[in-house]
Structure 1
Amino acid sequence: MAELLAAGPSGVAGAVARAMERSAPGSGASWYGGDHTDFRGGVFLREVVGVQVVVQEGGTAVPEAMTGLPPRPGGFTGRDRETEDLLRALDPDGAQSAAAPVASVSGLGGIGKTALAVETAHLARERGWFPGGILFIDLHGYDREPVTADRSLRTLLHALGIPPEHMPTTTDERAALYRSTLAVRAGERGGMLVLADNASSAEQVRPLLPGDFRHRVLVTSRDRLPQLGARLLPLDELGTREAYELLDRALRIADPHDGRVGDDPGTTGRLASLCGHLPLALQIAAALLAADPGKPVRELVAELAEAHDRLDQLDDGERSVRAAFELSYRRLPPEQARLLRLLALAPGPEVSDEVVAALVSADRPPVRDQHALARAHLVERGRTRGWWRLHDLVRVFGAGVVARAEGDAARARVLRHYLERARAADARLKPRTEDDEGTGPFRSREEALAWFDAERAGLVAAVQWATDRQLAADAVRLAGALGEYLDWRRRFDDSVTVCGAVCAAARRAGDEAAEAAAWNRTGTALRGNRRLREAYDAHRRAHDLYDALGHDNGRAMALSNLGAILGDVGQVDDAVDAFRLALGLFRRTGDRHSEAGVWNNLALILRKSGRVDEALDALRSALGLYRETGDRPREGRARHNYAVALNARGRTAEAVTACLDSLDICEEFEDWHGAARTLYALGLVHETAGDAERARVRMTQAADAYERAGSPKEAEQARRAARLTGPAPTGTPAPGAPPDRTADSGPPGPRPPGVPGNAGP
């Protein structure tokens, strides 16, 4: 030992090598390497693990930590795949670990990194992988005073048998002695595993890396630490099944007869969701339940769901999710901390780079700060590049630390950004003349639809900010810019949500015109979801509000929509009367485009009631008005209805031509649902003409188009019809078309209870 210390940093390795050649007399034991006693050949009465007593010069006994591992985590579950990945990374004989002798487990605070690392280290020891022993050190990387390299080296050297009085004085000297001692250990007994828990930076870990390839290092951190050249193993939240198992196992450890989790699996799934599938939160929830054996799971779920701040509830007195996140948050530089706070306010489950830029009031997203938060696992990458998301509980934490003024300003900026972009995209979806091409941010209809598709969840969530009086005006305007898109993509649930927010805001503001328009749109969306009773009531409320305001155009729209519902439930005469009233009002106001829509809807009712020639006349009026107003997409839908009416009249050749014209328009405007309906109609036309093979082909194509449009039930109906299509005896009815939600919906359904027979005012 004296020789080692005297050698200095540059001569330590040589001194160790010389010391290894020495031996001392004695029976069954020898000095080996200067600081270890060789017990090879000795007889032991039981397994020896944990501590070896090293006798140094002068006779002082120093404990040496063969394994300082914490106990195995109780109730560890749900990490089978991750455990296997980590074992492969540590396997001394594996090619993966040889290429990267350092493995780094990273993840959000409370995600279970230490539990995984400790469990895997125990499994590795059971396999006999590290005969030299296992060293464990908690670096407290996120505490106010993280463990320095100097302190960590002193701790590990002491665990390896170096007494305090022989400890080198500088960090470099300690690092050299640490590496040399590990080299000796590798030669004597084999490789060691060094488990460095809770590191916050590569600088904390780098001095602990052995120089000998036979050793392995396992690091846990809330940051990814790519600078170490390590095998990186990011840890995500648990899946639903794994979260369920963790809760059940934790409760049964406390009481083997506690079956609350198994007794109510649905509520347990809700509990796991409220805990964000975060192991720490789940363990706290289990502890809260274990402390109150009579408490049903649903009661804890209600407490979490109704809490103003969910993190207040996820605290069992010793562990706290908020405290875990606070450790990470307070280490962030100011700009990163601000970004995290503002990201917590973002609408929708994911946020795009362009919305991030709006949140922070910048022309470009703060890319470096975003990536830094991602490395710290406080932000996660979204479904594609340029998109980001926050864990549910991190979002709750971030929203809890943002100042009200800061948050209000950020949400206002997002609304303004969304409104500007949505209006530009909406303009691309609506009919335009050749002289009105525009020069906005979207060069084509396809680009506008793609932007709407990508941002849809955030847009719908932002409209719900209409509950805030300061944001209500822009939120309502944004809702208006979404109407055409949501209708085109048949997002009826989203439409109901958007219109509900607008109705509430308009009622609160006393704006009856805006409320009437919102009720009208609500009814259309409800009809799309076949909620006919609710749809009728919504349109009736819109009609009454418009009537009180003397708003003829609004009354006409409501009457047309009431007529469509009355037709759905078989009240043909009342439906026709409502459409005739609407036509008169639209002619009075000069709204030619809306008049075309009424002619189209009237034609559907007339055809279904057997008045085919009248239906064809109505459709010719609709087609002429759509061409006049330049609405090609709706012209395509009207051509589909025209083809169906022609086929009903026995004019199959003209029906085929009308179908093909409609199909061209649908494909031009990516109306895949319209294309599916038209392909199906084309199949029926071919079947009427006796061409069963072409009918089957078209119906099969219709099924594929329905799948593309996100309508699996209608796709299956089309496939079933294709299988049934074939030569049939005269008078056998053709298979019915899949139900359509915006046009011809097949045979009339039951009348909603309480629907009056007169649609007029």
Structure 2
Amino acid sequence: MAFDLRKPSPSPDRDGFVGREPELLSVLGGVPTGPDGRASHTSVHVLHGPPGVGKSALAAEAARRLGHEQRRRSGADPVPVHWLCLGDDTVDVPGTLLRLLAECGAPQVPVVRAAHQSGRAFGRLLREQCAQHFRERIVVLDDIGPAAHPLLKVLRGCLRLTVIVTSRRRRGWRNIDRLHEVGPLDGQDAAELFARLCQKSGSGSLVPSATGGLPSLVRLAGALAHDVPLDRLRAVSSPEGLVELALLGCTSQELTLLEVLAARPSRAPFTILTVRPVDVGNAVSGLVRRGLVQRLRDTDEMFLLSAPARQTMRGRMGYRERPEPAGTAARIVDDAASLLDGRPRVLSDDKPPDVLAPRVFAAHLDEFLRLAADVRQQRKHPLDELFSSALATVLAFLGDAHRLVGLYRSSRDHPAVRRALCALAREVGLPDVAQLLVEGDPGPEAAHESAANHHAAGRLDTALTDLGTAPAAEDIHSAWHHLVRGAVLCDQGKVDEAARHLRFSADLHRAFDCRRGHGQALLHLARVDLLRGLDAAAEELLAEADELFDALGDIRGQNWVETERVRLRTRSGAVDAALHTARGAFAAHEAAGDTRGMAWTLFWLGHAHEAAGRPQEARSQWTTAGVLFSQCQDALGEAWTMHRKALGPTGTPGGGSLDQWLEVQRAFLATGCPHGRAWTNLEIAARIPGKEMSSAFASMASADFDLLDDLTGQAWRSALLVVRGGPPGPDDYDRIAGLLPARVPRASELIAAIGAFMESGVATGIPPAARDLVLTHHTPVRTDSLPGTPGHPRCRVRITLLDDSPAADTTARLLLRVSPEPGHPWAAGLRSAPWLTATALPLTRASLEPPSALLRPSQEQAHGAEFDFTPHRTGTHRLRFTIALERTGTVLQQVETELDILDSDRPGSHAAPHAAIPRGR
């Protein structure tokens, strides 16, 4: 099950806890409780004692018993326990409070909106948020010092908290309720724990005196008893001797790992992610078996270096240079971040074989944040910006606004951290805050982030203005540029142009192994195909996007896939499935804090209710969607919601008033959406009195339909003018039917619907579903009756390597031919064959020149297209060629081929092209 960042961090498993009843009674008796067994008011208890004395185990047992007792007496749900292993004398107060707010599920919007405020204003907000949302809980702050007094002061302002602190310090505490001293185990308890751990008959009376009753040393001795005779253990005279005896059996890998762990500035628990590049092998499990390292919980890979082992190892290392775990962590998180934004891997020469999915980091974020803080404290550390940037990208992806705001406030000078918070602010419905975060940022990433902010706010023209012209280089910035541009153009209804940009973006993201960008491009291509009536293609694209998102753990991406499936299932007539999908998608968006996703899901849910013949339910969903669109500042969503509500129930006359429709028109004018503007003007033309005024609005609609090359809209506009001019004649039917070529999707359904409208007149209105299609001259043709489909002769694309397989950075020629089979119309000769364009795209680190070339379908080599192929690394290279009609740009086919570039001059083993499904065409 995925780790939930918005749930309390669980207490450690302490299966070896024994005795200590007096200490437990002292702690439990000091907690003020009411009749229901729950805390009556907030209290703070400090457990102090030397390292390894068992303070953490005592705190965990006390928290467990408190929760159990309160649950038993009240019969309610157990009180949540938050276990924060801080491992430092000083505490990052804002960061800790933000983490606690995240773990109690507090709303994200307030802290994101206040992220850029002054320290005093932000501190005031944190206190208010904690007092409002953090209440009736048990909090354990493990291993801190009196310097954490400001943190305890804030927690005292919360309602009915029980705060348990463990510390090595006895003095310096202020305004606490109880100070409990934790001493070593007495002889009987120590013997019982030792006997339980070493599992030898009669061993309890043989507990080594060197342990001094410290549980950490008793555990170490118990582990050693499996390999060392008991009499040898009893001969050890000091705690250091016990540790040295354990170290004697360690392998070189285990000793290296111990040095890495002991070098960490913090005493907090660690995970094996931060020591991965060290050749640990079974080092961690070996250290656990020897008692030098403890596993914190059975359910995850979190460990704690024992206090005696840490002290001994640091003494051994002295002042010599110590290994730095932060470099390891930075490399791992940077590799994962590259899957999200396509960044070049600075710390890896090439893609390492073990790049971790970003979702893996959820359980380890607090350790990574601690390591990043250690790096930040070292001025001008070379890893500072890279580590913070990669960590911010992962935090934004995981939707952890509270922790990301904490990182931002300590690293706000790093532009990449600001951009990560910008992306998250946009996703939680704050495009205005997101825009503030990238203002003045000169980086190329800021342009598409700014455009994405305007897109989320429904300001489509402004988004395109911010994007400007496309970058000349085909790099990752170009990939994101084309993705945002394609998404905006899709919302404007410019489906052909949107498809071109999104296809190119998908190819670039795939080439740079940016899996999240690739998934987003496929998702928006599916939206384009839904507008074009290509439901089967859209369904396949959604499945591909969902697979990419699932591999990354991209919950938000998967939620949007489900929202688009609501549209798809409604149009296919599977209304019950659409309703079920919509409810699940809405709940998922709500859990992720995505207000905009919730709003669009309700918008399409209204369509499903309308299709099911429930107009009142549809109107209710649209009303709620409008409120949510207003909350997340999505002007385009608001405009479409107003448009749908103004239509009125399907098949009934009337609908919204003329003033209401004019308000909808103003909304679409402000968004820069010609698709919505055209349909709104057409609805006004259907309702406004007077033939001249009706023709004027119909003319404005026609201009926008022309801009979109929308055959559907033009056909409905013509039908409306005929109906308003008088009874239609047979020629009118034929003329309007001729506007929709039979080859386009749903042509027969559209012609039938337009005919029914013309027969019944304006009173019934244009069907609402009519505006959900944008069919153009370039809408992909149906292929069920064309040459090249099963049962017909086909054209085959052939790719030939004309030279020997090149080495890295040398050039070889590739010949591409389109070869028609006998019987194909293009096989008769060049006169019957059209000019084609072949566009070349390397999907790996290689060059293909020229970018595109003309050719004619023919078996002859002279009529093909020749490309120069230059690989820039060894290994397998993947190349894609897109074949299109030169006259119209209609894509006919895509093919891909692979070439193996070896270190020697031998030719590679792959040179076989294979067909790829042309997406969104």
Q: TM-score, normalised by structure 1?
A: 0.46
Higher helix share: 1
When Rg is computed on C-alpha atoms for both structures, the one with the higher figure is 1
Q: TM-score, normalised by structure 2?
A: 0.39
